Amino acid sequence: MTMVGWFSKMVVATTVRMPKWFVRWVSRRYVAGASLDDAVAVMKRLTHEGACFTIDVLGEEISSMDEAQFFLEEYIRVMEAIKTHQLDANLSIKPTAFGLLIDPEQGMANIRRLVKLAAEEDMFVRLDMEDHRVTTDTIDVVVALHEEGLTNVGTVLQGRLFRTLGDIDALETTLGPAADYRICKGIYLEPEEISFTGYRDIVDATNAAVDRMLDAGAYVGIASHDQPVIDYALSALSSHGMGPGVDDPRSNAAPARHHKGPGYEFQMLLGVRGPLRRRLLSEGHRTRVYIPYGEKWYEYSIRRLKENPTIGTQVAKAFLLPWTNRP
């Protein structure tokens, strides 16, 4: 293990054992707050920087379908807030929070209802990718909704999974350029039998996925804070003639969608690498900030720390070098 990796694990191990008030103090940088009003306030502040947003109500893998109803109703409130405050925002949802693992049929019905309501408001819905148990199910939901004419929905794919390039090829065949992705390295530390585990291998696999998506004419949300991924993506975009202020020149691309970039955008978590996000914005790239909020802020914070200890580096940097990582 590298010194950086060891240090990150140490920071995580220390943080998860601290009192809840301390975790809240740490997480306030990365979580908008417990309420929708908190999320709206954060978005209004960042709107002045030119950012756009995707909103996530914290919570997943519920234990009853009553909880699924809560998430459906809360996301409807989110849509109303987006309209009321005229925010440049879309939705990110966890399929398991809508009941996909408990009652697949009702979970699908809940997701369908939300996506249909969002379509009526010209809003986009992103299905967050959870661990490998629901990768296929999540992709199947997107395909089924597109077949029903609800094309305002896309999925996340994780670069670290061995299957990802095959999933891109399959979705290209099924959806064509209507496929709309967020590609990330992946927060879940998946088994080595199904995923890359070394940093360089994960970066290379994520970069290969960016290439495959761009070649397919898909819309690509490049969700990374890693300089090697961002630098590669910028080079790949340039090789396709894509960039700020330029209409998507790919002959196989879908028509431009409202509140989207010219075939691509960059995406970053709230509170992580703010200077880099602002630099990309200043260069003209559409940049979306992931805004999580909700009563489950504590569980979310601890889970992210435990599942990906490299976040410890960001936590330590926020403490020790705050001027280099302003939100």
pLDDT, position 301: 59
Mean pLDDT calculated for residue range 126-154 = 96
pLDDT, position 169: 97
Query: From CA 92, how far away is CA 190, in angstroms rounded?
Result: 22
Q: How far is CA 58 from CA 21, 96, 97, 102, 224, in A?
A: 18, 12, 9, 18, 20
Identify how many contiguous H helices and E strands the chain contains and give both numbers: 12, 8
Quick: pLDDT tens for 178-233. 999 999 998 777 889 999 999 999 999 999 999 999 999 999 999 999 999 999 99
What 3-state DSSP class applies to 266? strand
pLDDT, position 271: 84
Query: From CA 178, how far away is CA 144, in angstroms rounded?
Result: 13
Query: From CA 91, how far away is CA 74, in angstroms rounded?
Result: 11
What 3-state DSSP class applies to 326? coil
- Across 138-152, 159-173, 224-238, 262-276, least confident range: 262-276
What DSSP letter does each residue of 71-107 carry, written as one string? HHHHHHHHHHHHHHHT--EEEEE-GGGGTTTT-HHHH
pLDDT, position 26: 60
What 3-state DSSP class applies to 11? helix
**Confidence band (pLDDT; 50, 70, 90) for 162?**
very high
Nearest-5° Cα angle at 165, 205 to 123:
100
Q: φ and ψ at 195, to 5 degrees?
A: -150, 155
Domains of the chain: 1-27+301-327 (no CATH), 32-293 (3.20.20.220)
Query: From CA 250, how far away is CA 210, in angstroms rounded?
Result: 15
What 3-state DSSP class applies to 260? coil
257 vs 97: which has the higher pLDDT:
97
pLDDT, position 93: 97
pLDDT, position 228: 96
Residue 4 predicted with pLDDT over 50: no
Decide: pTM greater than 0.95.
no
What 3-state DSSP class applies to 249? coil
259 vs 188: which has the higher pLDDT:
259
**Confidence band (pLDDT; 50, 70, 90) for 293?**
very high
pLDDT, position 320: 46
* Residue labelled with tokens 């029903």: 148
Residue 306 predicted with pLDDT over 80: no
pLDDT, position 15: 56
Query: From CA 24, how far away is CA 3, in angstroms rounded?
Result: 27
pLDDT, position 321: 47
Percent of the chain clearing pLDDT 70 (strictly above): 81
Residue 299 predicted with pLDDT over 50: yes
What DSSP letter does each residue of 131-191 carry, written as one string? SGGGHHHHHHHHHHHHHTT--SEEEEEETTBTTHHHHHHHHHHHHGGG-EEEEE--SS---
Listed residue (183, 179, 238) closest to 210, CA to CA: 183
- Across 15-19, 86-90, 167-171, 255-259, least confident range: 15-19
Q: Over the chain, what is the mean pLDDT?
A: 87
DSSP 23: H
What 3-state DSSP class applies to 219? strand
User: Containing H/E element for 287?
Assistant: strand 287-293
Mean pLDDT calculated for residue range 274-294 = 94
Residue 8 predicted with pLDDT over 80: no
**Confidence band (pLDDT; 50, 70, 90) for 31?**
confident
Q: Where are the beta strands (DSSP E) in 159-306?
A: 180-184, 219-223, 264-269, 287-293
**Confidence band (pLDDT; 50, 70, 90) for 7?**
very low
